[in-house]
Chain A
Amino acid sequence: MATRIHVQTTLNGEAAEFLCDSRQSLLEVLRDDLGFTGTKEGCSNGNCGACSLQIDGVLVDSCLVLAAEVDGKSVNTIEGLASPAQLHPLQQKFLEHAALQCGICTPGFIMAAKALLEKNPKPTEHEVRYWLAGNLCRCTGYDKIVRAVLDAAESMEASA
């Protein structure tokens, strides 16, 4: 039996540490051990994007990251997005555009869209669709999601 691994990380800006098994994914540790259940599990093999989050600013599927790998790294999840005072513009626009139906894919989409807007603050519709192709939604047909992201980009640009 492998020994448990001590991991020190930064989680949504706060220092965090945990013990994990080598075989535990980052997704599993976040959800089952740390109680951060906002990141969702849809397929556990990197094909749906529901578990999207950022590690050192890079968008990844957390089901395909071993928890042990984030030692010394900074992890950002959906739970860290809104401020106490208000929702992030992406969250607000998802609500205004009715860009979620069941909502299970929503945290992953919002985290992916956040990473997009950090890299490309004024994406075209095609760029949004290309970037979000790793996130599956089965409810909305993507129409309102794409509109919400484009609108959020515009409003963030305006307030920047």
Chain B
Amino acid sequence: MQTFDYVAAQTVDEAVSLLASKGDQARVLAGGTDLIVQLREGRRQLETVVDVKKIPEANVLSYDAQNGLHLGAAVACHRIYNDPVISKTYPGLMDAFTLIGGIQIQGRASVGGNLCNSSPAADSTPTLIAHRTMCVIAGPNGQRVVPVEQFCTAPGRNVLENGEFLLSLRVPAPPNNFGAHYLRFIPRNEMDIAVVGVGSSLMLGDDKSTVTDARIALGAVAPTPLVAVEAAAALVGKPISDDTIAAAASAAASIARPIDDMRGTVQQRIHLTGVLTRRTLQGALSRARGES
């Protein structure tokens, strides 16, 4: 591993000024489960590593029914799912946070880091999209807010500009009759990168049948996570049924434009997009109805 300067920033301003002065020769360290591997394998070379775990705003973890979830970008997965209120309130997020790596990885890996690594296969991103999450970005000009579906721009790339870093995520409080579900397909049962990942959310009317809102996001089938707009549209305003779910699944599969690689083929990924869309919608439905 090349040598570098390690700085544990204490404040947002300190981190921003370090990142601004070093440009692409600096990078933020949260859990390190991606960054340290990249450095060790020589895939990334840096002059400065800025540890943001001591910055209070990056470590916030709070929930209330008014403001929803405020999740510091450096908060490790285990802290989130070990919070009884948050884990009960957001089962669709926990689906993803409990399967990033194994328990050891979850002891370090942060949701913010998963997003900033900007892998198209990141497990947490589709479900954050399904939850209409907003990203709070700190930078030289203060803070700005970006919807999570606009955060990633290409594999390994995102909207962060020089001097900026992801400070926290804001997830709205789930409305009534809301349900979300994330599933990925992997060959083993743990410790794999998603071949395809799908996060879906549904909001039902008081009849617990008519879909009033829906969101479906797809991972690992394009250079960035995709929002399946037409798939969601196939559901909204109608009573949910096997047929509408099937229509949504096929609409989702139709926008997948994956690549062949060691984890899956184009055909397999397109097929799995449909399968997982169907399964996540069924899961989201049963949560929206309070059945699970």
Contact = CB atoms under 8 A, between A and B. Distances in A.
- Consider the complex of A and B and state whether they touch directly, i.e. have CB atoms less than 8 Å apart: yes
Interface of A: 1-2, 5, 21-23, 25, 44-47, 49, 52, 55, 58-61, 63-66, 68-69, 71, 112, 115-116, 130-131, 133-135
B6 A52 contact: no
A130 B53 CA distance: 28
A93 B53 CA distance: 38
The contact size tier of chain B is 20 to 34
B5 A64 contact: no
A47 B192 CA distance: 9
Contacts of A112: 103-104
B51 interface: yes
A116 B103 CA distance: 9
Interface in B39-86: 39-41, 49, 51, 53, 76, 78
Nearest to B5: A2
Contacts of A131: 103
B105 interface: yes
Contacts of A44: 40
B145 interface: no
A52 B51 CA distance: 22
B36 interface: yes
Interface centre among B5, B49, B101, B102 (most CB of A within 10 A): B102
Contacts of B6: 2, 5, 22, 66, 68
Contact of B107 (A2, A60, A66): A60
Nearest to A47: B191
Nearest to A25: B36
A117 to B, nearest CB: 13
B2 interface: yes
Contact of B104 (A21, A22, A49, A69): A49
A2 B48 CA distance: 10
B78 A58 contact: yes
A66 B32 contact: yes
Given A47-B191, A133-B190, A23 B39 contact: yes
30 contacts: A1-B3, A2-B5, A5-B6, A22-B4, A22-B6, A22-B49, A23-B3, A23-B4, A45-B41, A46-B37, A46-B101, A46-B104, A58-B78, A58-B107, A59-B104, A60-B104, A61-B104, A61-B105, A61-B108, A64-B32, A66-B6, A66-B29, A66-B36, A69-B8, A133-B103, A133-B190, A133-B191, A134-B101, A134-B104, A135-B102
Contacts of B78: 58
A59 B103 contact: yes
Nearest to A67: B6
The list of the 3 closest CB pairs from A to B, nearest first, reads A134-B102, A133-B190, A22-B6
A130 B101 CA distance: 11
B158 interface: no
A45 B108 CA distance: 13
A47 B105 CA distance: 9
Contact of A49 (B33, B36, B102): B102
B292 interface: no
A42 B53 CA distance: 27
Contact of A64 (B3, B8, B36, B51): B36
A130 B29 CA distance: 27
A45 to B, nearest CB: 5
